[in-house]
Amino acid sequence: MSSSQGSKPAGLISGFLAGIGRPVLGGLAATGRFAKFAGETVSHIVRPPFYGREFFAACVQIGWLSLPVVGLTSFFTGAALALQIYAGGARFSAESVVPSIVAIGMARELGPVLGGLMVAARVASSIAAEIGTMKVTEQIDALTTLSTNPIKYLTVPRVLAATVTVPVLVAVGDTIGIMGGWLIGVNRLDFNSAAYLKTTYDFLEAWDVGSGLVKGAVFGFIIALMGCYAGMNSGRGAQGVGRATKSAVVAASVMILAANYLLTEVFFSA
């Protein structure tokens, strides 16, 4: 009786530890697979052959077709930011800081992060669904049979296109967001147009814009890489493709926010 009673707590403890260890080991294995995939992708970027047609098609899909949603997001963000800063600054008689904070906030943080998240929602899901469907229909196996490396043909052009085009989207989004703040400042908050633009120009430094563009390049790399990885590892059937699409968007969004913190710490910690 005593031995059976003593074995019960031991069994409960081992079961509890196994329940903790199983997801931890699974997470470490998934991290290792993703790191290996990322390493293979980077190594293939500088090695021929190069698929220029796929690259330019990805640039249109990722960059040009994402411009409307990024532009609208940036415009309304800049407009809302101007209203919020004005309302907060009025408590301390500091309404004049609206132009400078809108410009710096859009260039450093809101432009890259919101642009990256919107592109992740649109592009990561699209890439994961496209490649996942190719896997389900065995088109990726057909590429391998034809001696075409799937990573070289499918992943590298998309990753390069996103890394190049997302900073351009960020630059356009910054401009539109600052315009949104300017429109609200002039038409709703009674700022002088020339004074608003002069304050924006005087306070916005080159590194404010440059840091946002660097963030955009990193976010673009993350978005395309996560979309391709989720698609390549998609399960069979419609449910597998759906799960791959969902995991691509969630993982890309979380990684964008984490990378944003790390880059901000590196760029502005001093």
Q: Angle CA(128)–CA(21)–CA(254) in degrees, nearest 5?
A: 35
Residues of the chain falling short of pLDDT 70: 1-11, 16-18, 270
What does the domain layout of the chain look like in residue ranges?
56-268
Closest CA to 197 of 185, 189, 215: 185
The pLDDT value given to residue 270:
60
The pTM of the full predicted model, rounded to 2 decimals, is 0.89
Q: pLDDT (tens digit, 9 = 90+) per residue, 201-239?
A: 888 899 999 999 999 999 999 999 999 999 998 888 788
Cα–Cα distance between 18 and 240 in angstroms, integer?
27
Q: pLDDT (tens digit, 9 = 90+) per residue, 69-110?
A: 999 999 999 999 999 999 888 888 777 889 999 999 999 999
